Amino acid sequence: MINPILKVRDGATEVAYCTPNRFTKWRVDTLFTKEPDTIDWIRNFSPGDILVDVGANVGMYSIWAAKTRGVRVFAFEPESQNFALLNKNIVTNDLGDKVTAYCLALSDDTGFSLLHLSSFATGGSGHTLGVDLDHNLRPRVSPYAQGCVSTTLDHLLESGVVPVPTHIKIDVDGLEHKVLAGCQATLRDPRIKSILIEINSNLEEHRRIVEELVGLGFRFSEEQVRAARRTAGPSAGVGNYVFRR
């Protein structure tokens, strides 16, 4: 009761997630149903692949990819409560040699800013860097803002902190276009096999992301996008695109 842990199996492999509140328990309970496209995407990874997870939250997919597919993961999560649990999940699964977590936001610039939180709760999401906006980029008033450091994926690769990834996941609840703007050189590297990115089709900034990645030689499946895109509720029009070379 003091340190609750839920375990999920993938064949003979057991993956453990720490669940200190009901929200993190819900993330485990819905691991295969919330974003089945992400699980399917990870199933195609191979040992030796490198995943960069931008907006890793508490590490649901970083941990899953490292434990079930044997890939090397670099996970980026700036929110303090999520970052702490992300590291706890890494330790719980004995993945210190497979997953490296950074308390950083990835964006289009390097510097110091504020991370505006939709809520101060472990497992929460919807936080925005530098601007107080919701996932539709509309102004909001957040209950709290923490200090935050940001950088670009291009800078991390140029400085040797992160190797060229095989796969990139980007889910930052509205500011995905800024992350893309900060990895233009990286995206041109042919060693990148795939990118999974959450796209809000209501936003012109996000519709341009699709055009940009197609222009860089990536392709996506209309069928996959239709299945992933939500059609009702506050996130209607939002869904994952899986781009492949």
Q: pLDDT tens, 179-238?
A: 999 999 999 999 999 999 999 999 999 999 999 999 999 999 999 999 999 999 989 999
What are the backbone dihedrals phi and psi of residue 18, each rounded to the nearest 5 degrees, phi first?
Answer: -75, 135
Average pLDDT over residues 63-67: 98
Q: Rounded to a whole number, what is the largest CA-CA distance in the chain?
A: 51
Write the CB contacts of 190 (distance below 8 Å, at least 6 apart in sequence): 245
Alpha-carbon span 54 to 197, nearest angstrom? 9
Instruction: Tell me the percentage of the chain whose pLDDT exceeds 70.
Output: 100
With 0-12 / 13-18 / 19 or more C-beta atoms within 10 angstroms meaning exposed / middle / buried, residue 141 is: exposed
- What does the pLDDT read at residue 65? 98
Evaluate if residue 145 carries a pLDDT over 90: yes
Q: What's the CATH code of the domain at 109?
A: 3.40.50.150
Alpha-carbon span 238 to 229, nearest angstrom? 5
- What does the pLDDT read at residue 59? 98
Instruction: Tell me the percentage of the chain whose pLDDT exceeds 90.
Output: 98
Q: What is the DSSP string of 198-222?
A: EEETT-HHHHHHHHHHHHTT-B--H
Domain span holding position 111: 5-244
The count of domains in the chain is 1
What's the pTM value of the predicted model, to 2 decimals? 0.96
Q: Across-strand partners of 10?
A: 13
Neighbours of 81 (CB within 10 A): 20
Average pLDDT over residues 22-35: 97
Categorize the per-residue pLDDT at 1 as very low, low, confident or very high, splitting at 50, 70 and 90: confident
**Buried/exposed code over 167-193 (b: 16+ C-beta within 10 A; e: otherwise):** bbbbbbbbbbbbbbbbbeebbeeeebb
Intra-chain end-to-end CA distance of the chain, in Å: 46
Tokens of 77: 């999560």
Categorize the per-residue pLDDT at 151 as very low, low, confident or very high, splitting at 50, 70 and 90: very high
pLDDT tens by residue, 120-142: 999 999 999 999 999 999 999 99
Evaluate if residue 29 carries a pLDDT over 90: yes
- What does the pLDDT read at residue 238? 96
Phi-psi region of 94 (alpha: psi -120 to 50; beta: other; left: phi over 0): left
Q: Across-strand partners of 129?
A: 115
Evaluate if residue 2 carries a pLDDT over 90: no
